[in-house]
Amino acid sequence: MPELRPMLATPSTHVPRGEEWCHEVKWDGVRALGSLDGGAVTLTSRNGNRITPAWPELVTPPTGVRDLVVDGEIIALNERGVPDFRVLAERMHVRNVATVARLAARITATYMVFDLLRLDGEDLCALPLHERRRRLAELDLGRSGWQVPAEYDDGAMLFEATRAQGLEGIVSKRRDSTYRPGERSHHWLKLPHRHRGSFVVGGWRPQVGTSDRLASLLVGEPTADGLAYRGRVGSGIGAKQSRALAELLAPLARASSPFADEVPRADADGTWWVDPVVVVDVDTHGLGYERLRQPSYQGVRTDLTPEDL
């Protein structure tokens, strides 16, 4: 397989409009290039590592194809039927054959193939996306564990639908875009969803090398079993927010963790625990995760108490 790297999308905050754009679901999985050469399928990660042994259910070649290179995302569904990276995490680095087989039987992966880069010796990267997609749609992927995801004309509709379903977001692509390996292109735009929620502060960590400069918060979610730990939030806490939070939390210091479950040692070490009475708003990536993903502090909710949550 040629030493290719996946083409990357540029982050955006607005869904582009116009007939020149098509739109796809942004999958919460593992990006991979797939190749078929001499009857054998090889899967390669975004950074060029061979990851084929981890995904035995995805190495059956498409029917009637002798040679190809595709781009896509390996996904698995969580208990809600939504693609979820954390479901794949247990499998990503396993190479022991017996362990891989056991995990594959329990967590079935699917390869969502959204681009075709080579077919039967022909390099297709210079062709426009709509032509590459047309040829991809003509392939027989029925027995391979591969699927070609749908594309949509109405990006705004897809953006709202994926938000409502708790999906990761969308990717918008120009129909005339060529495939430029390894490049981050403005012809591909990614629009991940950010979700805002309210959480209770249970502790804070100082900036490395200091004892009083608040750098991050440890937050939790009230449950029937007590305050469940949801993660550490540092993004969005600048100098001004740090001083205000430190002043607010200082009178609430306590000797032990207020969380009902065990806080990972990497988060607990050096933490100053506080009484769980302060509520803050946090933006996060995705819904339904045990730990907040890419959380960003948004502010204190003086109008809410933990009981309100």
Reading the chain (309 residues) residue by residue, the pLDDT tens digits are: 447 899 999 999 999 999 999 999 999 899 999 999 988 999 999 888 899 999 999 999 888 888 999 999 999 988 778 888 878 877 888 888 999 999 899 889 999 999 999 999 999 999 999 999 999 999 998 788 899 999 999 999 999 999 988 888 999 999 999 999 999 999 999 998 888 889 999 999 998 877 678 999 999 999 999 999 999 999 999 999 999 999 999 999 999 999 999 999 999 999 999 999 999 999 888 766 788 988 999 999 988 889 988
Q: Does domain 8-192 have CATH number 1.10.760.10?
A: no
Q: Is the dihedral of CA 252, 255, 260, 265 positive or negative?
A: positive
Bridge partners of 8, per DSSP, are 184
Name the strands in the sheet holding 21-26, side by side, starting at the edge strand that comes first in the sequence: 8-11, 184-192, 169-174, 21-26
Q: Residue 9 in contact with residue 171, Cβ under 8 Å?
A: yes
Backbone dihedral angles phi then psi of residue 16, each to the nearest 5 degrees:
-70, 150
Bridge partners of 36, per DSSP, are 41, 68
Which CATH number describes the domain made up of 194-308? 2.40.50.140
Q: What is the C-alpha separation between 293 and 225, in angstroms, rounded?
A: 23
User: CATH 2.40.50.140 residue ranges in the chain?
Assistant: 194-308
Helix, coil or strand: residue 240: helix
User: CATH 3.30.470.30 residue ranges in the chain?
Assistant: 8-192
Q: Is the dihedral of CA 3, 70, 81, 10 positive or negative?
A: positive
Tell me the catalytic residues: 26
Backbone dihedral angles phi then psi of residue 280, each to the nearest 5 degrees:
-130, 155
Q: Residue 188 in contact with residue 175, Cβ under 8 Å?
A: no
Bridge partners of 173, per DSSP, are 22, 188
Which residue has 């079935």 as its token pair? 108
121 CB-contact burial (10 Å; exposed 0-12 / middle 13-18 / buried 19+): exposed
pTM exceeds 0.85: no
